[in-house]
């Protein structure tokens, strides 16, 4: 007999259709099962706020196609209620006559908590029902993981798309549940808005190109680094030989910066392709390629050159941005007339940090 369990807090709860790949080998362990009659409150999404997403998308040329598992007319219904019986709903929008882009707004409920997720993909030959079923099955398999991600360390989630740079989805919960003679229900609002840079606590997730798992991983890794798209100009005439770093300027104050393309990591992608590496190993290649930038963004020290952010608008790459320093690479620095190579060698032997 197999019982699927989901870890929630200190306890494991029965959770149907948990089909994630196991992270470790199966073990024979003693497990004590108990029964709890705890009833979690339903979640009611108000008409005005949920219809607000409908209106925002309609104003930008999107048409509401429908939703699964039940056809809820989101533009006219008074409210949307999710519970332990009805845990998930996927609403699909596309660009009407242009039919270029598809939006899937996913609303979920798990153990009395609500979550919202938005996917954005190019339209294909599949119908909106087939696309909705694909998203629904993917979200169902991932289970309660979305709740942990959506509530642990950020209040809103940016849409990962070039054309929706800066747009974010926010879910806010009411302070107290609504009580009636039949049930208790939390109310929550969903807001689709253009996030301002002045108050955003995770601006680095806004305008990364594409919607693949690799790009999502980058967005998660760089959520504390500024997104400098539209704020950096690049000079293609001045390029450093080492690492192909371009000189650029910040449009805000004209400060010179260094723009270094870091992704796609062509060598790693080629190796992964030649070896027929699976999707999981490909993500590991990608994560290793950005480990240096991720650590760099977290370090703040007078002897460490400051990391300014990332930019994705040049040559379809993800580039790191740092302050420009004349003779900023080791080879150029050593050519300076006032530099004593023997002193640098001696300092290295003595384990002293010498910033270039």
Complete domains list, the chain, with CATH: 43-195 (2.60.270), 225-331 (3.30.200.20)
State residue 111's pLDDT score.
Answer: 67
The yes-or-no verdict on residue 89 having pLDDT over 80 is yes
Sort 351 into a burial class: Cβ within 10 Å, 0-12 / 13-18 / 19+: exposed
Residue 196: both structure tokens together: 């301002």
Task: Find out whether 82 and 114 touch, Cβ atoms under 8 Å.
Answer: yes
The candidate with the shortest Cα–Cα distance to 214, out of 122, 141, 123, 281, is 281
- Report the distance separating Cα 349 and Cα 356, nearest Å: 16
The yes-or-no verdict on residue 249 having pLDDT over 80 is yes
pLDDT confidence band for 301 (50 / 70 / 90): confident
Pairing, β 184-194 against β 42-46? parallel
Query: Checking phi first, is residue 265 left (phi over 0); if not, alpha (psi -120 to 50) or beta?
Result: beta
The yes-or-no verdict on residue 323 having pLDDT over 70 is yes
Q: Is the pTM of this model over 0.75?
A: no
Convert the pLDDT of each residue in 187-240 to its tens digit.
777 777 777 644 454 443 333 333 344 444 454 444 555 667 777 888 866 676
What radius of gyration do the chain's Cα atoms show?
25
The candidate with the shortest Cα–Cα distance to 186, out of 201, 199, 170, 171, is 171
Which whole number is the average pLDDT over 11-35?
A: 59
The yes-or-no verdict on residue 180 having pLDDT over 70 is no
78-106 residues labelled b (16+ CB within 10 A) or e (exposed) = eebbbbeeebbbbbbbbbeeeeebbbbbb
Which whole number is the average pLDDT over 143-170?
A: 60
Task: Find out whether 263 and 318 touch, Cβ atoms under 8 Å.
Answer: yes
The yes-or-no verdict on residue 294 having pLDDT over 80 is no
Residue 172, strand partner residues: 189
Residue 159 three-state SS = coil
Mean confidence (pLDDT) of the chain: 66
Q: Lowest mean pLDDT of 16-25, 182-191, 229-238, name the range.
A: 16-25
Phi, psi dihedral angles at 258 (to 5 degrees): -105, 130
Convert the pLDDT of each residue in 91-145 to its tens digit.
888 886 666 788 888 888 776 677 777 877 777 778 888 888 888 887 776 655 5
State residue 152's pLDDT score.
Answer: 38
Residue 320: both structure tokens together: 């790191």
């Amino acid at each position: 007999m197999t019982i699927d369990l989901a870890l929630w807090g200190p306890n494991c709860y029965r959770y149907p259709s948990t089909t994630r790949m196991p992270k470790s080998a199966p073990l024979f362990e003693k497990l004590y099962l108990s029964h709890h009659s705890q009833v979690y409150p339903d979640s009611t999404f108000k008409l005005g706020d949920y219809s607000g997403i409908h209106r925002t998308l309609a104003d930008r040329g999107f048409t509401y196609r429908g939703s699964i598992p039940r056809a809820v007319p989101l533009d006219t219904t008074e409210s949307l209620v999710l519970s332990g019986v009805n845990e998930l709903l996927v609403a699909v929008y596309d660009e009407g006559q242009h039919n270029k882009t598809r939006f899937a707004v996913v609303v979920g409920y798990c153990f009395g908590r609500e979550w919202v997720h938005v996917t954005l993909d190019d339209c294909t030959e599949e119908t909106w029902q087939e696309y909705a079923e694909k998203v629904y099955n993917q979200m169902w398999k991932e289970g309660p993981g979305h709740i942990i991600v959506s509530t642990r360390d950020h209040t809103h989630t940016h849409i990962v798309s070039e054309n929706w740079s800066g747009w974010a989805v926010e879910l806010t919960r009411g302070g107290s549940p609504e009580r009636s003679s039949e049930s208790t229900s939390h109310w929550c609002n969903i807001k689709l808005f253009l996030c301002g840079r002045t108050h955003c606590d995770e601006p680095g997730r806004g305008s990364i190109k594409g919607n693949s798992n690799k790009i999502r991983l980058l967005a998660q890794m760089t959520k504390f680094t500024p997104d400098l798209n539209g704020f950096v100009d690049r000079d293609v005439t001045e390029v450093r030989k080492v690492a192909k770093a371009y000189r650029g300027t910040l449009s805000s104050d004209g400060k010179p910066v260094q723009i270094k393309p870091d992704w796609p990591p062509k060598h790693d992608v080629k190796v992964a392709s030649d070896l027929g590496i699976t999707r999981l190993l490909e993500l590991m290649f990608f994560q290793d390629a950005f480990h240096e930038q991720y650590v760099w963004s977290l370090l703040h020290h007078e002897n460490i050159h400051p990391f300014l952010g990332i930019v994705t608008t040049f040559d379809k790459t993800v580039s790191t941005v740092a302050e420009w320093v004349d003779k900023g690479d080791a080879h150029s620095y050593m050519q300076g007339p006032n530099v004593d190579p023997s002193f640098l060698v001696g300092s290295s032997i003595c384990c002293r940090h010498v910033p270039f």
